[in-house]
Structure 1
């Protein structure tokens, strides 16, 4: 009887996650964008070098990096001009070449042409679905410290940089983190990574792990690409549903630190379950509505233990001054100061 009661309680809590009685609202179902980037068929058919080009679907970032090291600068740029959508999304390809390729691809897409403005460093751009984008702030090739910002729901190529929400979008978070962490012109680079299909609203997609699983594969490949180019292991900052992505990616992430904020859970019972060598940190402000979401997992619904719960075992990040769900990167907050110190590797 006691076991039956526990099961009924879990069912009720899981139902609350989906129906909205615990703070979740309706959202529209999304289909994850997966697989190699647009233009991959033409890339594979290209025989201009007299040898096969690395297959975007199967080549590792290390193999991609090794391939581009065999090419002259002119050969690299020629491939980028002819196959911008492939080169711009190939983890392991030279960073500056990816910027150049993505600028070309963006200028051809009226919806996102503003991302090709001079000075912007677009590390990835995929127009499929709602669009995915990653942008670099700082000198990724030379910085001593690297950070990656992974967003939650309602973020895509059209919404990842909203002037009306300067601290709640990945671009805004990245800018604030770099400004707070910067100690010298080439000290810290931050990647705003809207590189997966996020849930829309906080309905069933946000309560399950399907989109996060697809995103986790892409995020792990990003860190593999950084490692292949000799970049420092990054501190990865994961907001809201982005922390579900990071939890699933954790065993495969080449990261120094894993920081979750406003998390509904990481699909893990504790830090040990993440199977990562990275240091794990967690922040949750008392005013964040995410606290109303039940931390359960049942029949695929919910994301489990709250990472900010001391029993989870993450290192705490003070967040009392970070108001609401998107205030963690607001200037002057203790959470942002701590994030900056983590990004610089100053906190032990």
Structure 2
């Protein structure tokens, strides 16, 4: 597609053709009704019986089915032409808008898309000091419009070619074929259900024109924004809408609470806590917590892009329960290396700010590793709060149901990253902290995750006894746990783990224990028996200090994410 072709295109012929096919479908439908009334109904009431009658009735029924199938196929041609008209018209409008803006800013666009301008400040046609920046922006818009038109051309051509082939070879007269074609056309207007295979979702998304994709985002942002297999840019657009709607809803609920009741009430001579205040405060605190998370997301999304703050993409958002959010630092569909960070206990919408900061730090660390190696590869780190995490150490973090309930969600998300990526992901890592390692471990054990590396930070156990049970090469399983990390106190509660710990403790008291230890969700990931590659830590670091400036774990994480040797 070139500028002149798209700019000068007159799509009235598409509308005319669409109208003609509508007329044809209507007329054809009338013929089918006439056939039913004049032939089929009369034959059925003719009292004609016998072998010949049976053959005739069977053939007439087949012909009726063929006529109905043909009518459906004609209608599908009309729908394809309508989609073509809308798709091309939208691309043309985007192109004309870009060209008009170029003219307004005194930029000259050549037929091949090249842009020139007058740099002389004394000239009447001087384009201004920002001409180069504007030229880059407009050039990108022109390219996007041409790409949009090409995409519409390819998708609609494929649909029309299929229908034309059906018409020429007779398969369009088959009821089953017509039913399948109708279902495929209807699917273009229906968002796949949550949990659909991300590769199928990506195929569906690619079958839409850009204009259809745009309408899906506007009309179904809650579904599109959280659907694995939809590209990151589209999910981000949908979730920007979800974010604002969620903010409005949370604010409405806060306003609806009204002023705080009195904290206490007098019962006779005693002052007692006011149950109404207790209820009000619980609701107010939870809504305020969500609003804090929303504000943090807005602030990060709107931050000026620099080395410390790469562009971000909101890949998931809702305020259900404690709220969920998935935020990518850099575009995971185009980055060479992609890492998914799964936080643990306490993870929710309201705590998202600290988790985003960790993703920023991991991108910086990976960039440092690449820079030292002379590698220009790019990195995306995704904060995945896409599950209901436990909110308390006791009793919730002792319950593995949170990890079990997250398995399908995490698996689908990781498969989706591969489905939407431009080509093959260079190095794919899943990195988790605290209970997040249990969530990741369960998903890897039961579902398998399509990753190259797994990094387990401060793990209370992963549900497996050995690194090899995570279904990837144990040499690419990494673990870190500081000596001062209180996670080491999360003692096993299962009989097998308690027995192993007791035996090792007895051995240790006699001077020959080997340190094999089990925590609440499985074997400690940093003991030799687990078989992971153990990362360096600050021995005095606490449970949340692995991302601190003085932590040797952070640069190690960066090297793993960047695909560089860990031990240097």
> Are the counterparts in 2 of residues 124 and 134 from structure 1 also a CA contact under 8 Å?
yes
Partner of 1:50: 186
Partner of 1:290: 487
Of 62, 76, 92 in structure 1, the residue corresponding to residue 213 of structure 2 is 76
Of 551, 557, 560 in structure 2, the residue corresponding to residue 339 of structure 1 is 557
> Cα 1:321–1:145, aligned 2, differ >3 Å: closer, same or farther?
farther
Partner of 2:399: 208
Whether 1:269 and 2:469 are equivalent positions in the alignment is no
> Are the counterparts in 2 of residues 176 and 331 from structure 1 also a CA contact under 8 Å?
no
Aligned residue-pair number: 295
Unaligned ranges ≥5, structure 2: 1-182, 248-290, 303-310, 498-518
> Cα 1:219–1:51, aligned 2, differ >3 Å: closer, same or farther?
closer
Of 125, 145, 154 in structure 1, the residue corresponding to residue 317 of structure 2 is 125
Of 226, 236, 239 in structure 1, the residue corresponding to residue 417 of structure 2 is 226
Looking at structure 2, the residues matched to 322 and 78 of structure 1 have their Cα atoms a distance apart, in angstroms, of 54
Partner of 2:442: 248
> Cα 1:104–1:346, aligned 2, differ >3 Å: closer, same or farther?
same
What SS is found at the alignment partner of 1:282? strand
> Cα 1:59–1:187, aligned 2, differ >3 Å: closer, same or farther?
same
TM-score by length of 1: 0.79
Looking at structure 2, the residues matched to 250 and 323 of structure 1 have their Cα atoms a distance apart, in angstroms, of 28
Shift in Å at residue 113 of structure 1?
4.7
> Are the counterparts in 1 of residues 345 and 392 from structure 2 also a CA contact under 8 Å?
yes
Partner of 1:5: none
Shift in Å at residue 326 of structure 1?
0.5
Superimposed CA distance per residue, residues 150-175 of structure 1 (whole angstroms, 9 cap, x where no aligned partner)? 001011011121xxxxxxx3212111
Superposed CA RMSD in Å reads: 2.4
> Are the counterparts in 2 of residues 65 and 92 from structure 1 also a CA contact under 8 Å?
yes
> Are the counterparts in 2 of residues 139 and 186 from structure 1 also a CA contact under 8 Å?
no
Whether 1:180 and 2:371 are equivalent positions in the alignment is no
> Are the counterparts in 1 of residues 452 and 472 from structure 2 also a CA contact under 8 Å?
no
What SS is found at the alignment partner of 1:189? strand
> Are the counterparts in 1 of residues 232 and 313 from structure 2 also a CA contact under 8 Å?
no
Superimposed CA distance per residue, residues 71-123 of structure 1 (whole angstroms, 9 cap, x where no aligned partner)? 11111111011111100000000110000000001111223553345364211
Looking at structure 2, the residues matched to 271 and 48 of structure 1 have their Cα atoms a distance apart, in angstroms, of 44
> Are the counterparts in 1 of residues 535 and 553 from structure 2 also a CA contact under 8 Å?
yes
What SS is found at the alignment partner of 1:313? coil
> Are the counterparts in 2 of residues 142 and 186 from structure 1 also a CA contact under 8 Å?
no
Looking at structure 1, the residues matched to 229 and 464 of structure 2 have their Cα atoms a distance apart, in angstroms, of 30
Looking at structure 1, the residues matched to 378 and 539 of structure 2 have their Cα atoms a distance apart, in angstroms, of 27
Greater relative contact order (Cα < 8 A, sep 6+): 1
Partner of 1:197: 388
Looking at structure 2, the residues matched to 82 and 171 of structure 1 have their Cα atoms a distance apart, in angstroms, of 29
> Are the counterparts in 2 of residues 174 and 191 from structure 1 also a CA contact under 8 Å?
yes
TM-score by length of 2: 0.49
What SS is found at the alignment partner of 2:431? strand
> Are the counterparts in 1 of residues 316 and 325 from structure 2 also a CA contact under 8 Å?
yes
Looking at structure 2, the residues matched to 66 and 210 of structure 1 have their Cα atoms a distance apart, in angstroms, of 33
Looking at structure 2, the residues matched to 269 and 299 of structure 1 have their Cα atoms a distance apart, in angstroms, of 11
> Cα 1:92–1:303, aligned 2, differ >3 Å: closer, same or farther?
same
Shift in Å at residue 289 of structure 1?
0.7
Higher helix share: 2
Looking at structure 1, the residues matched to 195 and 403 of structure 2 have their Cα atoms a distance apart, in angstroms, of 21
Shift in Å at residue 277 of structure 1?
4.1
Looking at structure 2, the residues matched to 217 and 126 of structure 1 have their Cα atoms a distance apart, in angstroms, of 18
Moved more, 236-245 or 112-121: 112-121
Superimposed CA distance per residue, residues 162-220 of structure 1 (whole angstroms, 9 cap, x where no aligned partner)? xxxxxxx3212111111111147861110011111111110122112100111222111
Whether 1:151 and 2:343 are equivalent positions in the alignment is yes
For the pair shown, which has the larger CA radius of gyration, 1 or 2?
Answer: 2
Superimposed CA distance per residue, residues 288-316 of structure 1 (whole angstroms, 9 cap, x where no aligned partner)? 11111114534999301000111100011
Looking at structure 1, the residues matched to 186 and 486 of structure 2 have their Cα atoms a distance apart, in angstroms, of 57
> Cα 1:58–1:150, aligned 2, differ >3 Å: closer, same or farther?
closer
> Are the counterparts in 2 of residues 88 and 99 from structure 1 also a CA contact under 8 Å?
yes
Looking at structure 1, the residues matched to 471 and 377 of structure 2 have their Cα atoms a distance apart, in angstroms, of 32
> Are the counterparts in 1 of residues 242 and 318 from structure 2 also a CA contact under 8 Å?
no
